[in-house]
Amino acid sequence: MEKLTFYALSAPEKLDRIGAYLSERLSRDVARHRYGYVCIAMEALDQLLMACHCQSINLFVESFLKMVRKLLESDKPSLQILGTNSFVKFANIEEDTPSYHRSYDFFVSRFSEMCHSSYEDPDIRTKIRMAGIKGLQGVVRKTVNDELQANIWDPQHMDKIVPSLLFNLQSGERTESRSPSPLQASEKEKESPVELTERCFRELLGRAAYGNIKNAITPVLMHLDNHSLWEGKTFAVRCFKIIMYSIQSQHSHLVIQQLLGHLDANSKNSATVRAGIVEVLLEAAAIASSGSVGPTVLEVFNTLLRQLRLSVDYELTGSYDGNTNIGTKIIKAHEERQLQEAVIRTIGSFANTLPTYQRSEVMLFIMGKIPVPGVHLALPEGTRMIQIMLLKSLVQVTAGFQTTNMLTALPNSFLEPLLSFSLTEDPEARLLVLQILLSLIDRHDNRPKFSNIRYSGREHYETLFALLGLLSVELANEEVVVDLIRLTLALQDLALSTDEALPVYNRCAVHALAAAYLNLICQLTTVPAFCQHIHEVIEARQKESPFLLPEDVFIDNPKLLSSLEKVEGDVLFLQSKITEVLGGSGYNTERLATPYVPQYTDEDRLSKRKSIGETISLQVEVESRNSPEKEERTPTEEITFETLKNAIVDSVGMEEQERERRRLVVEKFQKAPFEEIAAHCGARATLLQSKLNQIFEITIRPPPSPSGTISSGYGQTQSRSVPIYEMKFPDLCVY
C-alpha cells in the first residue's frame, strides 16, 4: 500500500488507470462473493483518495463513486455499511478543483432508502439505518457549499432527505419510550440513532440560506400531516424546537410564516390538528423572540384572529361548511374550546416578543376587531363569544406591558371603546376589561400585592379594589387621590340609593369595597385625622354592621339582612368630615363637593368625551363669567317670597303652554296640506339664508392686493381687489 501510494503521488496522471483497475477487481470480487478482497480494494481506494489531492483526482473519484454505488446496490448489509463508510470519508475531503458533471441523485435515494430499512434483525436494521443517516450527512456536507454541484435544496432531494431523518427521530422516540434493560441501555449510550439523526438534522438546517428555508420546512409539514403527528403535539413541538434552534436567527420569521400558512390551509381540519399547529407556533414564537414576527406584524395576528373566529363559528354551527349534512365531520365543542385557548395563548406569546410601539399597534388592531355592543339590543351568542375571545386576547397582549408614558398605553382611540365594553351586561366581559386596565396601569409589578387581599371571594370586587389601588400608587398625586375618594363616596351613595335595583348582597359588597379602599388610601395619604375618621367608621361597622365589611361579605355564605334601609350614622363615611380633614392638610377639596354623575345610558356611552382643550376652554369661560368685572356689570336681583311663588306658578304654566304648543305642531303636520307645510319650511330656510349672508358680509373681507390700497371718500384706506393675473409680484417671488 505504501508503494502504491508513493507511485500514485509520483505519477498523478496514472491515478485514473489505478482507479479503473481497482474498480474492475472490486466488481469481479463482489460478483464472486470474495468479500475479503472487496474490503482490501475499498481500503486501497480510501487510502489513495485521502493521500492524493492533485488536479487529476476527478477521474479517480468517478471510479471510487462507481465502486461505492456497487456496494450500496448489494443485498449484503455489511457491504452497504462498508460503502457508506467509504463515502463518508470521501465527503470529508475538501477537493481543490470543482466537478461539473458529478451527480449525487443515486446516493440521496439510496441513503434515504437505507434510513427506512426494515431488516429482520433489529441490531442490523439499526446499523443500516445509521449508515443511511451518515450517508445523507455526507451528501449534504459534500454538496451544500459547492455551487457547481447539483442543488441539494431542490424539492426532489429535500422530499427524500427530511422525511428520512424525521422517520428515524420518530422511531427512536418509540424505542426509547420502552424500558430497556441495563445492558441495552449501555449499548444505546455508546451509539444512539436518535442523537445521530438530530445532529444531522441540525447540521442540515444550520446550512440553510434565506432562499432554502421553505424547501427545508415544507417536507416537515407534509410528514407531520401524512403521519397524523400534529394531534400528539409532542413530536411536532420537538421537531420545530430543533428547527428554531438550528436555523439562523434572522430566518426565524420565515418558519413562522410557513406555519401560519399551513394553519390556514388546515382551516377545515379537525380541532386537534389545528391545536397542534397552534401549540407549535406558541413554542416557536417563544424561541424566536424578537425575530419571530418579521416585517408583517399585523398579518400574523390577523391570521390567528381569523382562526379564532372560525373556531367559534364551527363550535356554534357544528360543522365546517355551515350545514349539518350526514357526510360532514362531527365537531366536538370541548376540542374547539381547547383550540381557542391555545390560539389566545399564542397571541400573547407573539405579543411578548414585540417592542412597545408595535404592541400598541396590535392592541388597537385587536380592539378594532371586537364587535361593538348594540344599543338596547342583546348580542347574538356568536358575536358575544367573539367579543369574549378577543378581550381574552387583549388580556394576553397587555400582560407585562411596560410604558413610560401613560398616554401611549391608553390613547383615546383605545380607551374609549375599551371602557364602553365595561358597561355591557356580560359579567365576563366586564371582568376582562378590568384585567386589561390593570395590566396597562401597573408599571411597577404592584398588581400581586393587591390581588392577594385577605378576604377575596368575589373576583369582580377584588379586581375593582386592585384597580383603585394601582391608580392610587401609579398616578400618585393629590388631584388623583381626591378624585378617587370622590369616586368611592359616590359608590357609597350608589349603595344607599333606592333608585337602583341592586340586590342586598351587591349593596353590602359595594360598602365593603369602599371601606377597603378608603382604609388603603388613608394610609397612603398619611393624614392622621383622615385615618382616624376611616378607622372610627370601620370600628363602628364591626360593632353594629359587620355585613358592611369585606371579611363578612366576601365569604362563601355571608350573613346578610333582608334589606338595608337603616344604614346611617356612624357606619357611613362622611363627605363633610373628609373634606374638612383633607382641606386642613393642604388638599384641594373643592371637587369633593361636586356630585359624581356616571353615564349609564347607551347613547352617553357611545358618545365621544370632551377633549382636554374643550375642557380647559369651558373652565376659562366659567371663570370669566364668575370674575369680579362680570359681577359688576350684571345687575343683582332681589329674591323674595313673591319671586319664588311667581317662579313656581310660571314654571307650571310654561309646562302647560309647551305641551299645548307641541300638540298644535303635531296636529298641524298631520292635517295641514302639503303646500302650506312646504311654504312654512321654505320661509324658515329663507330666513336662515339671509342670516348667513349677513354673517358672511361681516366676517369675509377681500384679500389684500400687492398693487396697494386706495383711499375712500372719508379718508379711510380700502383694499382694492385685483385679479390674480393682473397682480405684480416682486422678482424674488417669481419662479
Encode pLDDT of 163-173 as tens digits: 999 999 988 66
Instruction: Tell me the average pLDDT across 109-134.
Output: 94
**DSSP per residue over 11-54, as a string?**
-GGGHHHHHHHHHHHHHHHHHTT-HHHHHHHHHHHHHHHHH--S
Are the C-beta atoms of 416 and 609 separated by less than 8 Å? yes
Confidence of residue 222 (pLDDT cuts 50, 70, 90): very high
Whole-angstrom distance, CA of residue 152 vs CA of residue 143: 7
Evaluate if residue 494 carries a pLDDT over 50.
Answer: yes
How many alpha carbons lie under 13 Å from residue 280 in its C-beta half-sphere? 33
Q: Residue 363, Cβ neighbours under 10 Å: how many? A: 23
| pLDDT value at residue 723 | 59
Q: What pLDDT digit, counting tens, does each position of 534-548 carry?
A: 999 999 999 999 999
Instruction: Kindly report which listed range (114-128, 181-195, 418-432, 629-643) carries the lowest average pLDDT score.
Output: 629-643
Which triple of cell numbers denotes residue 147? 455551487
Burial of residue 322 (number of CB atoms within 10 Å: 0-12, 13-18, 19+):
exposed
118-122, 546-550, 581-585, 623-627: which range is least confident on average? 623-627
Count the Cβ atoms, other than its own, within 10 Å of residue 56: 13
The whole-number pLDDT of residue 178 equals 44
455/510 Cα distance (integer angstroms) = 14
pLDDT of 127 above 80: yes
Residue of 215, 227, 321 whose CA lies nearest to 273: 227
Which residues make Cβ contacts (< 8 Å) with residue 290, sequence separation at least 6? Answer: 353, 354, 355
What pLDDT, on the 0 to 100 scale, is given for residue 613? 32
Confidence of residue 224 (pLDDT cuts 50, 70, 90): very high
- Quote the pLDDT of residue 555: 86
Mean pLDDT to the nearest integer, 620-640: 42
Q: Which residue has the cell 379564532?
A: 308
The predicted pLDDT at position 615 comes to 32
Cβ-contact 454, 469 below 8 angstroms: no
CA-wise closest residue to 334 among 378, 393, 271 = 271
Cα 542 to chain centroid, rounded:
47
Q: Is 55 exposed, middle or buried (0-12, 13-18, 19+ CB in 10 A)?
A: exposed
H/E stretch holding 429 reads: helix 427-441
- pLDDT at 143 exceeding the cut of 60: yes
From first CA to last CA, the distance across the chain in angstroms is 91
Does position 518 have pLDDT exceeding 90, yes or no?
yes
**Selected residue with higher pLDDT from 638 and 196:** 196
* pLDDT for 406: 78
> 406 with 361: CB under 8 angstroms?
no
Tell me: the pLDDT tens digits for 343-355?
A: 999 999 999 888 8
What is the pLDDT at residue 622? 33
Per-residue pLDDT of 244-298, as tens digits, reads 999 998 888 899 999 999 999 999 999 999 999 999 999 998 887 655 566 678 8
The H or E element that residue 416 is part of is helix 412-421
d(CA 591, CA 562): 35
Q: Is the pLDDT of residue 696 over 90?
A: no
pTM: 0.73
User: What confidence score (pLDDT) does residue 391 get?
Assistant: 95
Q: Is 546 left (phi over 0), alpha (psi -120 to 50) or beta?
A: alpha
pLDDT at 601: 43
Tell me if 118 sits within 8 A of 125, measured CB to CB.
Answer: yes
Res. 703: pLDDT tops 80 = no
Residue 711, H or E segment: strand 709-711
More confident residue, 133 or 606: 133
Kindly state the greatest CA–CA separation across the chain: 138
Q: Which residues contact 65 (CB under 8 A, 6 or more apart)?
A: 87, 90, 102
Q: Average pLDDT in the 64-78 region?
A: 89
What is the rounded average pLDDT of the residues 111-117? 95
Higher pLDDT, 425 or 397: 397
Q: Residues 498-520: what's their mean pLDDT?
A: 90
Instruction: Find how far residue 506's CA is from the centre of its chain.
Output: 35
Phi-psi region of 676 (alpha: psi -120 to 50; beta: other; left: phi over 0): alpha
Helix/strand/coil percentages in the chain, nearest 5:
70, 0, 30
- SS in 3 state form for 123-163? HHHHHHHHHHHHHHHHHHHHHCCCCCCCCCCCHHHHHHHHH
pLDDT of residue 302: 92
Residues 726, 262: Cα–Cα separation, whole Å: 69
pLDDT in tens, 19-41: 778 788 888 888 788 888 788 88
Query: Which of the two residues, 391 and 401, has the higher pLDDT score?
Result: 391
pLDDT band of residue 407 (cuts 50, 70, 90) is: confident
pLDDT at 453: 59
Mean pLDDT of the residues in the chain = 80
Mean pLDDT of 574-590: 91
CB 465 within 8 A of CB 516: yes
DSSP state of 611: P
| 93 vs 65: CA distance, rounded Å | 14
- State whether the Cα torsion 345-350-354-360 is positive or negative: negative
Find out whether 486 and 514 touch, Cβ atoms under 8 Å.
no
Report d(CA 448, CA 727) in Å as an integer: 73
Which has the closest alpha carbon to 255: 654, 361, 263?
263
